[in-house]
Structure 1
Amino acid sequence: MGRYFGTDGFRGEANNNLTADHAYKIGRFLGWYYGEIKRQNGDDTPARIVIGKDTRRSSYMFEYTLVGGLVASGADAYLLHVTTTPSVAYVARTDEFDCGIMISASHNPYYDNGIKLINGNGEKMDEGTITLVEDYLDGKLEVFWEKYEEIPFAHTSKIGRTVDYVSGRNRYIGYLISLGLYSFKGVKVGLDCANGSSWNLAKSVFDALGAKTYVINAEPDGTNINNNAGSTHIGGLQKFVAENGLDVGFAYDGDADRCLCVDEKGNLIDGDAILYIYGKYMKERGKLENNTVVTTVMSNFGLYKAFDEAGIDYAKTAVGDKYVYEYMTNNGCILGGEQSGHIIFSKYASTGDGILTSLKMMEVMMARKKKMSELMEGLHIYPQVLENVRVTDKKAAQDDADVQSAVRAVTEALGDTGRILVRESGTEPLLRVMVEAETEEICKKYVDQVVDVVKKKGYVIG
């Protein structure tokens, strides 16, 4: 993990540990770097970089400062305005941009923000380029066989320009609609847009495919993104679906790269269940490449037992859709994802895409002519308790000998009836302690046992 960029971009509280100056410098570097690569290859045209943002109040500030840096370095900045992370990835790939930038802190509260970098293939940026960005932020850049105390500004006609590129976002909406294999006519669908990026996209897609669409949390005001809304607060959608007699519901996070589902009874269908439903659907049709679904270490015991029963192989990666995608690419897999709702359908997208995920789940419902609850048959999810512990130093807390000893004790006690997983958050100062076991009481007991040790060793904040 880098000095500034974690597993999902450069994230922090706006104007505290992620400032407008950071954004300007990131723009300065990227505009110059991609332009210099072109020049060294004999191409004198400016770098082309596409930018999207979510609905946070600070997203406008970061957009303007990023653009200032980009054009000052000679790049042309194309603005998608408020849009989803997967739309930026789609446009970067299909319109041959040098790179893409998404301004979002995903599921975090409104006062946080983030800068996600996407390469020209629509994938998360490689570590080598991210390291160069971090080196420039730290004033120790060495690239193209030279050391730079500062990078040059563009002058006269070489100064970059901004381009309103809302047409790119509209083409992305058209692409999603084109993936609908079935009419949704007569299906009552609930959407929770988290007052985020999907607020002006998702409904238009479902309406175009014929659904009777009901939407909640689609009135962003700059400070209500993810506030008791979206995939991290699924209870609102569960209640909405059940009370209004809807057939299914889909909840997105702030930048709509995640999706969780709710069945017609108001029950949660999480990322593991989505992988099971779609993996089984592909297996039955003979279209599951390598007969493998890619998961992370956070996926539930029950998912693996269900895959075994269905004759489906699986792989486990580190937490982060970046690692899921890397494994999929390297091993020819077409389906993978996380329990949190980051689901990757590599035939259609290069990143997790919440709206696409909801369309693929609708496809299974329509093809099988079954309710969402019926598609869950064969999957039994083990109880799981996850506690996020805010700590002073997450690495030191995880590596502490006494904490490690407590984890080993729980592992021995559970044997083959469950498991414990302790890991650092990739984006926040958190230690995540998770236990799966036969009952929730057992899970809670062992989570508390480890958290108590973390507290006694003085790592916990507050």
Structure 2
Amino acid sequence: MGRSYFGTDGIRGLTNSDPLTPDMIMKIGQAAGAKFLRGDHRHRVVIGKDTRLSGYMFESALVAGFTSVGMDVVQVGPLPTPAVALLTRSMRADLGVMISASHNPFHDNGIKFFGPDGYKLSDEDEAEIEALLKKAPRLAKPEAIGRSRKIEDARGRYIHDAKMTFPEHLRLDGLNIVVDCAHGASYTVAPSALWELGANVTAIGVQPNGYNINANVGSTAPKLMQEMVRDISADIGIALDGDADRLIVCDEKGNIVDGDQLMARITKSWADTDRLKGGGLVATVMSNLGLERYLEGERLKLERTNVGDRYVLEAMRAKGYNVGGEQSGHLIMSDYATTGDGLVAALQILACLVESGKPASELLRVFEPLPQILKNVRFNGGTPLEQDSVQKAIADAETKLGNTGRVLIRKSGTEPVIRVMAEGDDPDLVETLVDGICEAVRKAA
């Protein structure tokens, strides 16, 4: 079965525009509820959200949908995506829902689903939900309609569990940390967890108003964090995205450290302490070739997947790895979480920093990345990647790079753009090749 609504990370789009209208959101709740109504127990769904204005509307529509088919609802309010996954499993719920469009601006929103095990749904599960959307909902009898309740201690539960992933023999005493919460879901939990572990915390992006999520703050806009780190001479900066499943760091000099470097540091640390499983890590096709070369030098493996943290996690589970992630900062440590968790990943990096006694600029520059250029070409339909002219441009680029680099062209799963990426030892050649492919795509589109 194909999927029309679900992309690489749930359903996402412009609020109050098809398919994310209130009536459709309610139907999605009904369809997902029907899919997970199994057995004769009282069924339960956990619903969390980030800080977007539209979160109230999405939440109300989903509550109506789930309760109308007989499923009880537990509302946990603004919480990171990994917290919803955690609570879904710990509360023995049948389903978890996170209302968020991650790093997108406030006018977008979306829905991410988690199964009873706390893992994101498979493609097959999502396809079944879409199939149920085409059928009339099987509404519960009046006496079987679900109930809804809010729980007030959800944030405390998540803070406690996140702190438990930090080594018990370590503390963050004396460490000056800037944390940027993107005016998003982590605006209370991330600063609190760091403070409770002893850090001196300077928090930015912690005044959500419904409109400012990810606006010039967070992991996709880290400039303010970098400036703050330099201004107050902090030891490290931590930037999360709107739903806090993504982490980007800057060192004490304000230099950005991306997900590839963070994965390399955690993998090496875990390998040195016999905690690493699978003999390496799982990353996507977007990760830098420099990471692959570094791991080879350490006799560690790099398993590549399609873009999307769900595909990383699927490969981790199938092949026995416990570290994986994306260059963009989705970092998954399956010993601790069932999905990407920016706060937990930050705590692993901070543990390395404390134990090493080295400055972040030294500790987190693990390998020398190859020059890598990524450009997006917007298109309005059609199949430009199938055109002969585009295929020829790609083939020519691959020939010119040979064994000194690689080319990756793909259609985005979240917006109407073609992503053109190339990397190699010669930065001028890489830029020329990317520009040539982009031009071929524009003409074809």
Q: TM-score with structure 2 length normalisation?
A: 0.96
Q: Deviations over 1:156-215 (max 9, x none)?
A: 321111111232332111111222222101000011111111111100000100000011
Q: 1:124 aligns with which of 114, 120, 123?
A: 120
User: Structure 1 residue 417 and structure 2 residue 404: aligned?
Assistant: yes
Q: What SS does the aligned partner of 1:349 have?
A: coil
Distance 1:101 1:134 in 2: 16
The 1:228/1:377 distance shift into structure 2, 3 A limit, reads closer
Q: Is the 8 A contact 1:50 1:77 kept in 2?
A: yes
Please state how far the C-alpha of 1:99 moved relative to its aligned partner. Answer: 0.7
User: Structure 1 residue 192 and structure 2 residue 180: aligned?
Assistant: yes
Amino acid in structure 1 at the alignment position of 2:272: E
Q: Is the 8 A contact 1:425 1:431 kept in 2?
A: yes
Please state how far the C-alpha of 1:94 moved relative to its aligned partner. Answer: 1.4
Q: Give the equivalent residue in structure 2 for 1:157.
A: 143
Please state how far the C-alpha of 1:129 moved relative to its aligned partner. Answer: 2.2
Q: Is the 8 A contact 1:79 1:166 kept in 2?
A: no
Alignment of 1:163-178 (within 5 A): 163-178=149-164
Q: 1:441 aligns with which of 411, 421, 428?
A: 428
Q: Give the equivalent residue in structure 1 for 2:395.
A: 408
Please state how far the C-alpha of 1:73 moved relative to its aligned partner. Answer: 1.1
Q: 2:65 aligns with which of 65, 69, 80?
A: 69
Amino acid in structure 2 at the alignment position of 1:230: G
User: Structure 1 residue 349 and structure 2 residue 337: aligned?
Assistant: yes
Distance 1:353 1:242 in 2: 26
Q: Deviations over 1:317-369 (max 9, x none)?
A: 11111111011101111101100000100000010000111011001111222
Q: Give the equivalent residue in structure 2 for 1:265.
A: 253
Distance 2:148 2:365 in 1: 52
Q: Is the 8 A contact 2:265 2:366 kept in 1?
A: no
**Worse-superposed segment, 418-427 or 368-377:** 368-377
Amino acid in structure 2 at the alignment position of 1:398: L
Distance 1:166 1:108 in 2: 27
Please state how far the C-alpha of 1:378 moved relative to its aligned partner. Answer: 4.6
Q: Is the 8 A contact 2:264 2:366 kept in 1?
A: no
Q: What SS does the aligned partner of 1:289 have?
A: coil
Q: Give the equivalent residue in structure 1 for 2:33.
A: 31
Q: Is the 8 A contact 1:190 1:215 kept in 2?
A: yes
Q: 2:416 aligns with which of 408, 412, 429?
A: 429
User: Structure 1 residue 302 and structure 2 residue 293: aligned?
Assistant: no
> Which 5+ residue runs of structure 1 have no aligned equivalent?
140-148
Q: Is the 8 A contact 2:31 2:130 kept in 1?
A: no
Amino acid in structure 1 at the alignment position of 2:84: V
Q: What SS does the aligned partner of 1:387 have?
A: strand
Q: In the comparison of the two structures, how many residue pairs are matched? A: 441
Q: Give the equivalent residue in structure 2 for 1:2.
A: 3
Please report the RMSD computed on the Cα atoms of aligned residues, expressed in angstroms.
1.4
User: Structure 1 residue 398 and structure 2 residue 385: aligned?
Assistant: yes
Q: What SS does the aligned partner of 2:408 have?
A: strand
Q: Give the equivalent residue in structure 2 for 1:324.
A: 312
Q: Deviations over 1:235-262 (max 9, x none)?
A: 2212221222000011111111000111
Alignment of 1:125-144 (within 5 A): 125-137=121-133, 139=134
Please state how far the C-alpha of 1:220 moved relative to its aligned partner. Answer: 1.0
Distance 2:427 2:186 in 1: 34
Q: Give the equivalent residue in structure 2 for 1:384.
A: 372
Amino acid in structure 2 at the alignment position of 1:448: D
Distance 1:332 1:289 in 2: 6
Please state how far the C-alpha of 1:280 moved relative to its aligned partner. Answer: 0.8
Q: Deviations over 1:94-116 (max 9, x none)?
A: 11100100110111111111111
Q: What SS does the aligned partner of 2:287 have?
A: coil
Q: 2:278 aligns with which of 260, 270, 290?
A: 290
Amino acid in structure 2 at the alignment position of 1:95: M
Q: Give the equivalent residue in structure 1 for 2:24.
A: 22
Q: TM-score with structure 1 length normalisation?
A: 0.93
**Worse-superposed segment, 361-370 or 58-67:** 361-370
Amino acid in structure 1 at the alignment position of 2:204: I
Q: Is the 8 A contact 1:275 1:337 kept in 2?
A: yes
Please state how far the C-alpha of 1:33 moved relative to its aligned partner. Answer: 3.3
Q: What SS does the aligned partner of 2:234 have?
A: coil
Please state how far the C-alpha of 1:445 moved relative to its aligned partner. Answer: 1.5
Distance 1:256 1:221 in 2: 17
Q: Give the equivalent residue in structure 2 for 1:57.
A: 53
User: Structure 1 residue 109 and structure 2 residue 105: aligned?
Assistant: yes
Q: What SS does the aligned partner of 2:186 have?
A: helix
**Worse-superposed segment, 437-446 or 51-60:** 437-446
Q: Is the 8 A contact 1:91 1:169 kept in 2?
A: no
Please state how far the C-alpha of 1:377 moved relative to its aligned partner. Answer: 4.8
Q: Is the 8 A contact 2:214 2:242 kept in 1?
A: yes
> Which 5+ residue runs of structure 2 have no aligned equivalent?
none
Please state how far the C-alpha of 1:439 moved relative to its aligned partner. Answer: 4.5
Q: Percent identity?
A: 40
Q: Give the equivalent residue in structure 2 for 1:145.
A: none
Q: Is the 8 A contact 2:378 2:416 kept in 1?
A: yes
User: Structure 1 residue 13 and structure 2 residue 9: aligned?
Assistant: no
Distance 1:109 1:224 in 2: 8
Amino acid in structure 2 at the alignment position of 1:259: L
Amino acid in structure 2 at the alignment position of 1:216: I
